[in-house]
């Protein structure tokens, strides 16, 4: 061995002895040989999921045996690669012969924050929640009542029905939550009362804050009916209540189907047998009235109001429409 190499080894060993006196290292000296382990670090604070290497320098240049005091917190492989698994503290030890050195690894608990602690939405409405973690790990979203509101993997919340639920986001055993209230919508109708004649129609417009289509209902379908788009049709004179409902919230409209007014061109006429005369009728509803004779043996009438004398006598010609009825007296002479 050359003189320069001997000097270099002496300096290295001197430095090593000084270092060992201040380090968490066990070493063994036997038969003029020294076993030692030096580590690249002796303590480390990391997040869950982090990985790092500890480099070991041994007296014989061989790879040491690695071990962890708690592999569930931090594990180490045969190459000194450490993986943080859950919050806590573990000691990573490298050992060769009777010498060893250790590194204290502290795994921090993952902190997670959510963008909102509470939100209020309506059925059919969506809202996006966001979450951040201290170690940028992936998160899992969950709703406590999926019938009220659901949440997808991206934090998009969708209201399904009125009620309350809790949206929870978790990561590495840590969690944060947001209370979600799916509120009842507001419903307004463009009219509170409408008046129609038989056969007439009018459309009701419902404004629903949630944008959901209402269900429509008539309490008297013999008076007025309503179809799914809100169109009301009068059936006969009377009063009906139309109701629009969304998620238990209702608004009503009173529908009055009024009797029409009928005016005849004459209240009394005189005709001879075989003669015809035309009666005209004004009906305020615009509907065609129904014509009839009280005594067709004396006088008849057709659907246009044409009266024909049959034989001498008296008859009444009736005109009626949806509950309104008027008459004309007809005298038939020879």
Does the residue 227 lie in any domain?
A: yes
pLDDT mean over 91-113: 95
257, 278, 310 — which closes off a domain?
257
Bridge partners for 164 per DSSP: 181
Q: Tell me the whole-structure pTM to 2 decimals.
A: 0.60
| Distance in angstroms (rounded) separating the CA atoms of residues 134 and 148 | 31
Range of the domain at 153: 112-182
Is it the case that residue 32 has pLDDT exceeding 50?
no
pLDDT mean over 89-110: 95
pLDDT (0 to 100) of residue 16: 42
Q: Does 160 share its domain with 174?
A: yes
| Distance in angstroms (rounded) separating the CA atoms of residues 322 and 304 | 18
For residue range 224-279, list pLDDT tens digits in order. Answer: 999 999 999 999 999 999 999 998 899 999 999 999 999 999 999 999 999 999 99
CATH number at residue 247: 2.60.40.1080
257, 282, 308 — which closes off a domain?
257
Q: Does 176 share its domain with 201?
A: no
163, 182, 201 — which closes off a domain?
182
pLDDT mean over 21-28: 43
Q: Does 165 share its domain with 206?
A: no
DSSP letter assigned to residue 31: T
pLDDT (0 to 100) of residue 33: 61
| Distance in angstroms (rounded) separating the CA atoms of residues 133 and 90 | 23
pLDDT grade for 334, boundaries at 50, 70 and 90: confident
Which position has the higher pLDDT, 287 or 22?
287
Does the residue 21 lie in any domain?
A: no
| Distance in angstroms (rounded) separating the CA atoms of residues 16 and 99 | 14
pLDDT (0 to 100) of residue 44: 96
| Distance in angstroms (rounded) separating the CA atoms of residues 113 and 174 | 10
Does the residue 19 lie in any domain?
A: no
Question: Structurally, how many domains does the chain consist of?
Answer: 4
Does the residue 200 lie in any domain?
A: yes
CB-based contact 161:182 (threshold 8 Å): yes
CB-based contact 221:227 (threshold 8 Å): no
Burial class (CB in 10 A: 0-12, 13-18, 19+), 205: exposed
Of 95, 110, 90, residue with least CA distance to 43: 90
């Amino acid at each position: 061995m050359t003189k320069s190499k001997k000097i270099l080894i002496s300096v290295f060993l001197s430095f090593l002895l000084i270092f060992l006196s201040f380090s968490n290292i066990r070493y063994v000296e036997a038969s003029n040989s020294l076993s030692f382990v030096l580590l690249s670090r002796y303590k480390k604070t990391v997040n869950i999921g982090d990985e790092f290497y500890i480099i070991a320098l041994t007296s014989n240049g061989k790879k040491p045996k690695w071990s962890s005091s708690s592999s569930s917190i931090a594990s180490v492989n045969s190459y000194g690669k450490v993986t943080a698994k859950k919050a806590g503290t573990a000691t990573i030890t490298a050992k060769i012969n009777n010498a060893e050195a250790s590194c204290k690894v502290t795994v921090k608990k993952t902190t997670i924050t959510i963008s909102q602690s509470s939100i209020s939405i309506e059925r059919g409405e969506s809202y996006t929640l966001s979450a951040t973690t201290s170690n940028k790990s992936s998160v899992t979203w969950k709703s406590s009542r999926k019938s009220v509101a659901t949440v997808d993997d991206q934090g998009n919340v969708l209201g399904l029905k009125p009620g309350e639920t809790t949206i929870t986001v978790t990561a590495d055993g840590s969690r944060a939550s947001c209370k979600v209230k799916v509120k009842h919508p507001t419903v307004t109708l463009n009219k509170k009362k409408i008046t129609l004649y038989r056969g007439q129609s009018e459309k009701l417009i419902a404004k629903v804050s949630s944008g959901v289509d209402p269900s429509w209902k008539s309490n008297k379908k013999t008076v007025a009916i309503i179809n799914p788009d809100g169109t009301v049709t009068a059936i006969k004179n009377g009063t009906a209540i139309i109701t629009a409902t969304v998620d238990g919230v209702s608004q009503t409209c009173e529908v009055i189907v009024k009797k029409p007014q009928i005016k005849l061109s004459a209240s009394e006429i005189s005709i001879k047998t075989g003669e015809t005369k035309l009666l005209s009728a004004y009906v305020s509803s615009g509907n065609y009235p129904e014509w009839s004779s009280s005594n067709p043996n004396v006088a008849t009438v057709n659907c246009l109001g044409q009266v024909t004398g049959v034989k001498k006598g008296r008859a009444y010609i009736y005109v009626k429409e949806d509950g309104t009825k008027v008459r004309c007296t007809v005298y038939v002479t020879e």
